[in-house]
Amino acid sequence: MEHMSNSPLSDRCPALLDRYAALDSAAVSDALDQLGLPAGVGGIRPVWGPAAVVGFAVTVGLEPRGDGPAGAHIATTAVETADDRSVIVVDNQGRTDVSCWGGILSLGAARRGVRGVVADGVCRDVAEARELAFPVFSRGAIPATARGRLQQRSTGEPVEVAGLTVEQGDVVVADETGIVVVPRGRAEEVAEIAAGIAARERVIAEEVRAGVALSRAMHDGRLAGGGGGGAVGRPAAEPAVAKESAR
């Protein structure tokens, strides 16, 4: 049951993912920026409609099919080791000429409660994923099958997604804006910073709704909470924000 049970953080996992579920990729990206960590990638998007998932990465590396007898279909090993806290991350090196995820894989993953798949490549069987309401994030779609064209290189090993290294168990946040990956060992810290950023933005949005001038409400130094690079100052007097900024 406890897929990550060898991790010292495992007791806090459900609460950790709940905290990320209340955030979005932009807030998490801003927190990663503050810590000097990679700020995420764009161009990998939901293929059948709005979707947002958070989960622990189960990684799959693919490569062009070599000689030899056919083996297990790509990503089947990952699906069989994944659970209801997993997001499957497929590294097909950004290729857009062959599918690296399909409908039967979506079915198998959905049956295990997997939260979604993020593919640095393209997928097929988009309608099947939609019928399952299974979130698939990729660079697009193509009918051409992986069979005979791709094979599994690795499962559970570090992979690259658009230049971003993803390790098994990292926290993945995928939504309509893009993909952010939080190293597992920094996940609590990043969640806390991102929650502060989201809270500040809610205050700012409330002020904009109340008619405060955008240039005053939306000040870069304020958005950064005084903690990020590039802060250029603060608005005149904002007690509510000053309080949110205190960390």
Ligand X SMILES: O=C([O-])CC(=O)C(=O)O
Q: Does 245 contact ligand X by CB under 6 A?
A: no
Question: Does residue 139 contact residue 120 with C-beta atoms inside 8 Å?
Answer: yes
**Which residues between 86 and 125 bind Mg ion (CB under 5 A)?**
102-103, 125
| Using rule CB under 5 A, residue 55 touches Mg ion | no
Tell me if 99 contacts ligand X by CB under 6 A: yes
Does residue 103 touch ligand X according to CB under 6 A?
yes
- 30 touches, from Mg ion, ligand X, none (C-beta below 5 to 8 Å by class): none
The CA distances from residue 152 to 63, 64, 219, in Å, are: 6, 9, 47
Instruction: Give me the least distance between CB of 169 and ligand X, in Å please.
Output: 25
Taking the least distance from each CB to ligand X, the nearer of 146 and 166 is: 146
Residue least distant from Mg ion (Cβ): 102
For residue 194, the partner it binds in Mg ion, ligand X, none, with Cβ less than 5 to 8 A by kind, is none
Nearer to ligand X, 25 or 152 (CB): 152
- d(Cα 14, Cα 167) in Å, to the nearest integer? 19
The nearest distance, CB 109 to ligand X, in angstroms, is 10
Q: How far is the CB of 46 from Mg ion (least distance, A)?
A: 19
CA 216 to the chain's CA centroid = 32
54 or 110, CB closer to Mg ion? 110
124 binds ligand X per the rule CB under 6 A:
yes
Q: Which of 145, 154, 165, 177 binds ligand X (CB under 6 A)?
A: 145
**125 lines the binding site for ligand X (CB under 6 A):** yes
Size of the residue set binding ligand X (CB under 6 A): 10
Q: Which of 40, 55, 61, 102 binds ligand X (CB under 6 A)?
A: 102
Contact between residue 227 and residue 34 where contact means Cβ atoms under 8 Å apart: yes
| Binds ligand X by CB under 6 A, chosen from 147, 153, 186, 216 | 147
76 near ligand X, rule: CB under 6 A: no
Which parts of this chain interact with Mg ion (CB under 5 A)?
102-103, 125
Which parts of this chain interact with ligand X (CB under 6 A)?
99, 102-105, 124-125, 145-147
